[in-house]
Chains A and B, each alone.
Chain A
Amino acid sequence: MSDRIRRALFLPFSALLLALVPGLSAQEGGEGGGPPPEEGAEETKPDDEKEAKYFAIVGGDVHTGTGAVLRGATVLARNGKVKEIGYGVFVPPGAETVDATGLRVYPGLVALGATTRLSQGLGAAEGPELGEDEFEHSHEGLPEIRWDGLLPVPVAPESHVVGDDEHPELQVEEEGGDEEKSEIEDTFDPFNSFLVLALATGITTAQQSTAAVKLKRYEIDGVLLSDRNLASVTWGLANPTGIQSTRKKFAKAAEYLRELRAWRARGDKNEKEPSRRGVDTTALKVLSGEAQALFRVNSREELLGVARFAQEHGFRPVIEGCAEGWTVADELGRAGATAILTPRGRSPKDERFVRPGGASIENAAKLHAAGVQVAVRPESTTIDFVGTAGRDLIALPVEAGFAVRGGLSEQAALEAMTIVPARILGIAHRVGTLEPGKDCDAIVTDGDLLHYQTFVQYTVVDGKLVYDKEQEIYFAHIRPRPKKPEPPKTEEAAPGEEKAETPAEEGAEEPAKDAEGDDEAEEKAKDEKQDDAKDE
């Protein structure tokens, strides 16, 4: 009874909070981790039109990631941000351009849980940065089952996740050190070869330990996009006390937030502010919307438990693993869950129960159909020249392709590698789609991104060309880029003349066009040119 009342009271508040917080976090994230005044001072400079740097990807089929496909369109970036996408876009003279005619343009991919060698190279294992193990262990499918006499006892994978009550002393320390920032800004190696391989795969942003990192090449400024947007929460049937302690912590944090709001509403200056003592910071962060709760669960029971728990407290859970998610897709959809899936991951069905279970190729499709946001990460989240080839980050699009094989739409598969992971990392306002105002992180491919044969030809990060397949030693020799047929140039015209003319022509004509008439105008222009050629 009291529980229900509490829930009824709480939900509106939390909904309000959820609505408010993304805006706040967007502001915070926008600073790129640096101190605000400096950033502002830096940004005012390039706003000077003379110093503005333009970059254009011209003539490709632009898959913006929002659902739209613009065939033969132009993406224009100004100072690293997308300024315009469309037809008849005026490209200022002097702008660096990439000719994407006959190629496809996608937003840069976002890799979840990538190992730190992407941003630091091999030699950078020092410091308190979390290594590969932190992420590798989390994808073991269903909990291991140990036979204890006659009865099977599922064993939870060991994890040092916030929420475990085993080391209360440690917990206190962690609360103090919670604000510790990611060291990526001091350790980033923009020249390391794994980063180049990531760019060759189309990955322009990667989760590195607790942070989201822009994979910039040749520079180290502004690589940190967000930090600690995810908070791991313990949940596993093998560890019932862990679940209990998580429940307690969230209940206490919710109570504290209620008291705090009530206190603020009363506005009584003589009254003391409610004490934060004993309130779990992780739970507080999740409930106040500062961080998203991350559950690493796979089995149906656990998933249902997480869905209900999240609904009780009014937050949207991020569920990594989610192997049996397809059996409870509706419940997860109602809870507003986001799932991080490995479509090629395998997990067996628990044969003790008569009901659907285990991994399914349709997992992603069914979850997506039920309203669950789907993100994809491969079995191994590292990049290497040897070993895990085909199952690591180098094959991220292939992983998403498998979800398509199971019925997921291609658009959803693209989103699973771009905007959904960006939302999970709290950086959807910066990356994840090609939209005006967002960072110009784009890849140009020679075919459908989800096809196994497709290569990334160019990668653009923050409006700068950082990877060109033909110029790097890795894949240049495999199916070399077909040479473009030379446009029927007139031999009489001196090259110097042409150069002088084109900017003037564009400058005079293009801005005058209105948005709707662009297509026609362009066609006309083409016709005119052809006519000219014929005449000569």
Chain B
Amino acid sequence: MLALLLSGLLLAPASGGGDLVAIRVKRAETVASGPLEHALILVEGGKIVALGEDLPVERGIPVLDRPDWVVTPGLVNAHTRVAGERSPARLFEPQSRPTFDVDPRHEAWEELLELGVTTLGFYPDGSGIPGQALVLHPHGKTLAEMLVADSAYLKIQLQASASSKKALREAFAKVDEYNEKVAKEREKWEKEQEKKKKSSSKSSSKKDEEKKDDPKAEEKKDTLAPVSQEEEEKKDDKKEADDKKAGDAFVPPAPDEKVKPFLDLRAKSLTAMMSIRKAADYLHLLDVLKKEKDVQFFLQFPLSDDGDLYEVATKIGEKGLTVVTVPEITLQVNSLRERNIPAELVRAGAKLVLTPRFDTLRGHEDWRADVGRLVGQGLAREAALAAITLEAARALGRADEIGSLEVGKRADLVFWSGDPLEPSSKVEAVMLGGEFVVGDVP
């Protein structure tokens, strides 16, 4: 059945572009719908156009037959600053992007690509609220070539401290201030509109009366500076001109650049990544967000310090939150009891994103093996694979484009010599947007 359907599909693209290529591999880890044995992937125009088990291929389409390979979506590191400098300065720059920290000529990018990493969430530097992350492909000669999106998430660091909580509360208070201002402006504008309607109707009938009435009304408005009649007439002319320009629609004043990101958070057009360090921070985060029900966020935390996050795993799981963390087995506080916090979070219902334990090239080399170790100690395999692909893409807001092997998605593929979570497996080839960028492939 599927084959029939597919053949229909295949005909159309075959007549189109010449970049059509079919790849036959041992197994495809689709992430979205489990593994496919003896999989065939058809790529055209940089996208996956067909995918299935033992599919027949139309004659004339070049087939890359690699019966030993395993294909996965390209790995996504949602939280990295590899090849960028770091400093612990405390900042409040929610509008900024780390564009100047990206050096397209850095050799690390190509090496990352060779390790199967095809997408990066490049976060801004500093603690506090340092800015918004970029989405990059580690491939290209200029930043413009590398850049996928210039706003993945707003990074917010929150701790159980009065100053940290206050900074976030005040940021949202400023949005309230701005909204009030807009409401006032709107009211003013509406009054003006009404007045204009009246005056226009009056002007047609009684021009003399208007001249008498108008100055008084104007005076009431501008009590601060009494204006002479001549000037006023000019002003009126100007206003009319302005209104004509802007049309009849009300144009709200532009928000401050530091207020805008929080406005976007409330409007759900931006997601926040809340960086926390311990379980108590999470409760304090909820405390700050008590009134901000609309704000969408996910969590990020290192598992290097005392790591008592198992205390709030159930609470995080109940909300189905996404958590960005590292593949690390930690010890329970004051004990030698090992805890697999990522696995506990998944079991509780949270969505897991795993980044390398160390944000270096070496860390990226060990990444898969570390994730594999977690699987060995109780993390579900599907969740582990999704944690370095689909869920990471979702955290970056690109889940409809990358992160899994699905028809219609970008062809960012990594071909492995074996199981990707096995340390001995190697990257055989990497396809980025339908083109092989790594590997000895014709």
What separation, in Å, do the CA atoms of A106 and B162 have in the docked complex? Answer: 35
Residues in A whose Cβ lies below 8 Å from that of B149: none
Which residues of A360-413 have CB atoms within 8 Å of chain B's CB atoms? 385
Residues in B whose Cβ lies below 8 Å from that of A219: 283
CB-based contact B165/A186 at 8 Å:
yes
User: Which of A183, A191, A220, A474 is the one whose CB lies under 8 Å from B278?
Assistant: A191
Interface: A164 (CB within 8 A): no
CB-based contact A220/B283 at 8 Å:
yes
Given contacts A191-B308, A193-B334, contact A126 B284 (CB under 8 A): no
Interface: A188 (CB within 8 A): yes
Q: Nearest chain A CB to B357's CB is how many angstroms away? A: 21
Interface: A64 (CB within 8 A): no
CB-based contact A189/B160 at 8 Å:
yes
What separation, in Å, do the CA atoms of A221 and B334 have in the docked complex? Answer: 26
What separation, in Å, do the CA atoms of A127 and B284 have in the docked complex? Answer: 16
CB-based contact B287/A220 at 8 Å:
yes
Interface: B87 (CB within 8 A): no
Residues in A whose Cβ lies below 8 Å from that of B332: 473
What separation, in Å, do the CA atoms of A120 and B160 have in the docked complex? Answer: 9
CB-based contact A187/B334 at 8 Å:
no
* Chain A 175-212 near chain B by CB (<8 Å), digits 1 or 0: 00000000100111111110000000000000000000
Of listed B162, B166, B311, residue having the most chain A CB within 10 A: B162
Residues in A whose Cβ lies below 8 Å from that of B312: 191
What separation, in Å, do the CA atoms of A121 and B163 have in the docked complex? Answer: 18
Interface: A218 (CB within 8 A): yes
Closest to B283 in A: A220
Interface: B32 (CB within 8 A): no
What separation, in Å, do the CA atoms of A121 and B284 have in the docked complex? Answer: 15
Given contacts A220-B280, A220-B283, contact A187 B333 (CB under 8 A): no
Interface: A124 (CB within 8 A): yes
Interface: B204 (CB within 8 A): no
Residues in A whose Cβ lies below 8 Å from that of B283: 190, 219-220
Closest to B334 in A: A193
User: Which of A124, A193, A473 is the one whose CB lies under 8 Å from B160?
Assistant: A124
Residues in A whose Cβ lies below 8 Å from that of B284: 186, 220
CB-based contact A218/B161 at 8 Å:
no
User: Which of A183, A190, A385, A474 is the one whose CB lies under 8 Å from B280?
Assistant: A190
Residues in A whose Cβ lies below 8 Å from that of B161: 124, 126-127, 183, 186-187
What separation, in Å, do the CA atoms of A121 and B279 have in the docked complex? Answer: 12
Interface: B335 (CB within 8 A): yes
Residues in B whose Cβ lies below 8 Å from that of A191: 278-280, 308, 311-312
Residues in A whose Cβ lies below 8 Å from that of B163: 127
* Chain B 275-308 near chain A by CB (<8 Å), digits 1 or 0: 0001110011001000000000000000001001
* Chain A 129-162 near chain B by CB (<8 Å), digits 1 or 0: 0000000000000000000000000000000000
CB-based contact A218/B311 at 8 Å:
yes
Residues in B whose Cβ lies below 8 Å from that of A192: 280, 308
What separation, in Å, do the CA atoms of A473 and B287 have in the docked complex? Answer: 30
CB-based contact A189/B334 at 8 Å:
no
What separation, in Å, do the CA atoms of A192 and B278 have in the docked complex? Answer: 10
* Chain A 482-510 near chain B by CB (<8 Å), digits 1 or 0: 00000000000000000000000000000
Interface size class of B (residues with CB under 8 A): 20 to 34
Which residues of B118-166 have CB atoms within 8 Å of chain A's CB atoms? 160-163, 165-166
What separation, in Å, do the CA atoms of A474 and B332 have in the docked complex? Answer: 13
Residues in B whose Cβ lies below 8 Å from that of A124: 160-161
What separation, in Å, do the CA atoms of A235 and B142 have in the docked complex? Answer: 72
Residues in B whose Cβ lies below 8 Å from that of A385: 334
Which residues of A75-133 have CB atoms within 8 Å of chain B's CB atoms? 120-121, 123-124, 126-127
Which residues of B163-184 have CB atoms within 8 Å of chain A's CB atoms? 163, 165-166
CB-based contact B334/A186 at 8 Å:
no
What separation, in Å, do the CA atoms of A193 and B335 have in the docked complex? Answer: 11
* Chain B 218-248 near chain A by CB (<8 Å), digits 1 or 0: 0000000000000000000000000000000
What separation, in Å, do the CA atoms of A146 and B246 have in the docked complex? Answer: 84
Q: Nearest chain B CB to A33's CB is how many angstroms away? A: 13
What separation, in Å, do the CA atoms of A473 and B165 have in the docked complex? Answer: 32
Which residues of A215-238 have CB atoms within 8 Å of chain B's CB atoms? 218-221
User: Which of A121, A186, A190, A474 is the one whose CB lies under 8 Å from B162?
Assistant: A186
What separation, in Å, do the CA atoms of A183 and B164 have in the docked complex? Answer: 12
What separation, in Å, do the CA atoms of A56 and B287 have in the docked complex? Answer: 30
Closest to B336 in A: A473
What separation, in Å, do the CA atoms of A186 and B158 have in the docked complex? Answer: 11
CB-based contact A187/B287 at 8 Å:
no
Q: Nearest chain A CB to B6's CB is how many angstroms away? A: 54
Closest to B305 in A: A123
What separation, in Å, do the CA atoms of A188 and B305 have in the docked complex? Answer: 18
Q: Nearest chain B CB to A182's CB is how many angstroms away? A: 9
Residues in B whose Cβ lies below 8 Å from that of A120: 160
Q: Nearest chain A CB to B350's CB is how many angstroms away? A: 18
Q: Nearest chain A CB to B181's CB is how many angstroms away? A: 25
Of listed B163, B280, B333, residue having the most chain A CB within 10 A: B280
Residues in A whose Cβ lies below 8 Å from that of B278: 121, 123, 189, 191
Q: Nearest chain A CB to B184's CB is how many angstroms away? A: 26
Q: Nearest chain B CB to A254's CB is how many angstroms away? A: 36
Residues in A whose Cβ lies below 8 Å from that of B335: 473
Given contacts A191-B311, A220-B287, contact A473 B334 (CB under 8 A): yes
What separation, in Å, do the CA atoms of A107 and B6 have in the docked complex? Answer: 75
Given contacts A218-B311, A220-B287, contact A193 B162 (CB under 8 A): no
Q: Nearest chain B CB to A250's CB is how many angstroms away? A: 33
What separation, in Å, do the CA atoms of A187 and B166 have in the docked complex? Answer: 12
What separation, in Å, do the CA atoms of A218 and B283 have in the docked complex? Answer: 9
What separation, in Å, do the CA atoms of A124 and B160 have in the docked complex? Answer: 8
What separation, in Å, do the CA atoms of A263 and B8 have in the docked complex? Answer: 98
Closest to B312 in A: A191
What separation, in Å, do the CA atoms of A220 and B334 have in the docked complex? Answer: 22
Closest to B333 in A: A193
Between A and B, 26 residue pairs with Cβ closer than 8 Å are: A121-B278, A124-B161, A126-B161, A127-B161, A127-B162, A183-B162, A186-B161, A186-B162, A186-B165, A187-B160, A187-B161, A187-B162, A189-B160, A189-B278, A190-B280, A190-B283, A191-B308, A193-B333, A193-B334, A219-B283, A220-B284, A220-B287, A221-B287, A473-B332, A473-B337, A474-B334
Residues on A close to B: CB < 8 A? 120-121, 123-124, 126-127, 183, 186-193, 218-221, 385, 473-474
**Closest CB pairs A-B (n = 3):** A189-B280, A183-B162, A186-B162
Residues on B close to A: CB < 8 A? 160-163, 165-166, 278-280, 283-284, 287, 305, 308, 311-312, 332-335, 337
* 17 extra A-B contacts, CB within 8 A, seeds A187-B161, A188-B280: A121-B278, A126-B161, A127-B161, A127-B162, A186-B161, A186-B166, A187-B160, A189-B280, A190-B280, A191-B279, A191-B280, A191-B308, A193-B333, A220-B280, A385-B334, A473-B332, A474-B334
